[in-house]
């Protein structure tokens, strides 16, 4: 856990806003508020002495311990993501022994005390387990909406959606059935939600999958724009393993920590295809032209791919300018902000979109995150101090419409 001495020694004299912070759900998070007719939609079972989670009767292996009584050490894979794996260690060797889950990772009051120790003034705090839901319940859209709403009810009771004006706890929105998505967003906004978590993937309805950037979803985007709600597109299980498996001739579920899958799968995983496709859809399906004030924040998707994608989209647009209301890169700059990971090389990204669109995020307490969130400062120590202020907190405060302290 964090050291108060380390945090106080590193804490700058400006607000710090961690735009990628997580909690671990307790076992009742998905089940406590399930309606009676959905009691079998989510279940915990014991297999060979280990707890497993079932969605619609099928075991999900994505998260090895879905009850989170034991967890991997926060930041156990930090060096792996920063420097690679030159010794070819296994996942088990990289992660090391687990620990008991401390209260600070499951309770907001304890978390606030930990944030004080870590030198964090604010945090965009996201769930962990819910990244499983949509992919594993895609064939039953109504049941998926019911489970998501049950989770949001639990989250509101446990965390609220804005705890002590410092923890911006982010509920989930599934877009599969548009009317239900609109009703859910209304419910969330009425209870103070400032941000919503959405999966960067096609939304599954009764006609199958389709992008939630298509015009049929305009009622949802209209409400997003009118309420000023920030859509958080966080890396998730976007269903792309179904396509990777076709290439590899296999049928293997996505796993959260494995580095031993195969070179092809790892290469495609680190290409960030799901978020690139999602951004391409939001631009090319015209969502951002129809809703120019909608705000979208990309979280834990990396940032290194952004310059290349925008260059590619602008190049494509030159071939058929009559189909575009704005250059794709200008459209991106109108609607999108990017949380950059600790391993990202920032200068090319800043050259492409400017420093005002980039946010710091630690991914604490996940394995791939930072052991000490403020160590992110090491990545930007050579930048002008005003740019550091923006990345470490000012940009996120501004996006939320909160006061950004004047520079000295």
3-state secondary structure 330-374: HHHHHHEEEEECCCCCHHHHHHHHCHHHEEECCCECCCCCCCCHH
Is residue 142 packed enough to be buried (19+ CB in 10 Å), middle (13-18) or exposed (0-12)? Answer: middle
Contact 279, 211 (CB under 8 A): no
Whole-number Å distance between alpha carbons of 260 and 282: 33
Residues 127/151, Cβ–Cβ less than 8 Å = yes
Name beta bridge partners: 364.
21
**Residue 390 DSSP label:** I
Please, what is the Cα angle at 225 between 219 and 230, to 5 degrees? 115
In terms of phi and psi (left: phi > 0; alpha: psi -120 to 50; beta: otherwise), the region of 161 is: alpha
CB atoms within 10 A of CB 191: 15
pLDDT 10s per residue in the chain (408 long)? Answer: 444 445 555 789 999 999 999 999 999 999 999 999 999 999 999 888 889 999 998 888 888 889 999 999 999 999 998 899 899 888 888 889 999 999 999 999 999 999 999 999 999 999 999 888 999 999 999 999 999 999 999 999 999 999 999 999 999 999 999 999 999 999 999 999 999 999 999 999 999 999 999 999 999 999 999 999 999 999 988 888 888 778 877 666 655 545 556 777 777 777 899 999 999 999 999 999 999 999 999 999 999 999 999 999 999 999 999 999 999 999 999 999 999 999 999 999 999 999 999 999 999 999 999 999 999 999 999 999 999 999 999 999 999 999 888 775
> Architecture of domain 4-399 in CATH?
Alpha-Beta Barrel (3.20)
Question: What pLDDT score was predicted for residue 90?
Answer: 84
CA 391 to chain centre: 18
Q: Which of 280, 193, 235 is nearest to 81 (CA)?
A: 235
């Amino acid at each position: 856990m964090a050291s108060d001495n380390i945090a106080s020694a590193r804490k700058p004299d400006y607000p710090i806003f961690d735009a990628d912070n997580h909690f671990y759900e307790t076992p009742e998070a998905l089940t406590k508020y399930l309606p009676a007719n959905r009691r079998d939609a989510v279940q915990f079972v014991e297999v060979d002495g280990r707890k497993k989670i079932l969605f619609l009767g099928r075991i999900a292996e994505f998260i090895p311990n879905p009850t989170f009584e034991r967890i991997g050490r926060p930041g156990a894979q930090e060096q792996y993501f920063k420097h690679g794996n030159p010794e070819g260690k296994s996942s088990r060797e990289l992660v090391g022994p687990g620990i008991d889950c401390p209260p600070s990772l499951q309770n907001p009051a304890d978390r606030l005390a930990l944030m004080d120790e870590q030198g964090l003034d604010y945090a965009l705090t996201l769930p962990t387990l819910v990244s499983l839901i949509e992919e594993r319940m895609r064939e039953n859209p109504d049941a998926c909406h019911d489970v998501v709403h049950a989770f949001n009810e639990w989250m509101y009771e446990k965390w609220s959606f804005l705890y002590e004006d410092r923890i911006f706890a982010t509920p989930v929105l599934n877009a599969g059935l548009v009317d239900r998505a609109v009703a859910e967003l209304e419910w969330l906004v009425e209870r103070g939600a400032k941000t919503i978590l959405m999966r960067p993937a096609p939304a599954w309805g009764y006609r199958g999958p389709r992008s939630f950037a298509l015009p049929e979803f305009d009622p949802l985007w209209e409400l997003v724009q009118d309420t000023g709600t920030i859509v958080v597109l966080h890396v998730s299980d976007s269903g792309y393993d179904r396509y990777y498996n076709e290439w590899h001739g296999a049928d293997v579920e996505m796993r959260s920590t494995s580095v031993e899958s195969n070179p092809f799968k790892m290469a495609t995983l680190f290409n960030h295809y799901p978020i690139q496709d999602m951004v391409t859809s939001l631009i090319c399906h015209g969502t951002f032209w129809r809703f120019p004030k909608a705000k979208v924040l990309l979280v834990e998707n990396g940032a290194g791919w952004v310059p290349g994608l925008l260059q590619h989209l602008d190049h494509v647009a030159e071939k058929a300018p009559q189909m575009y209301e704005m250059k794709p890169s200008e459209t991106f700059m109108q609607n999108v902000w990017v949380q950059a990971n600790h391993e990202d090389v920032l200068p090319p990204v800043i050259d492409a979109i400017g420093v005002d669109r980039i946010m710091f995020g630690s991914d604490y307490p996940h394995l791939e995150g930072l052991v000490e969130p403020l160590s992110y400062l090491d990545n930007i120590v050579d930048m002008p101090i005003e740019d550091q202020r923006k990345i470490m907190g000012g940009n996120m405060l501004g996006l939320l419409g909160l006061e950004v302290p004047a520079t000295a």
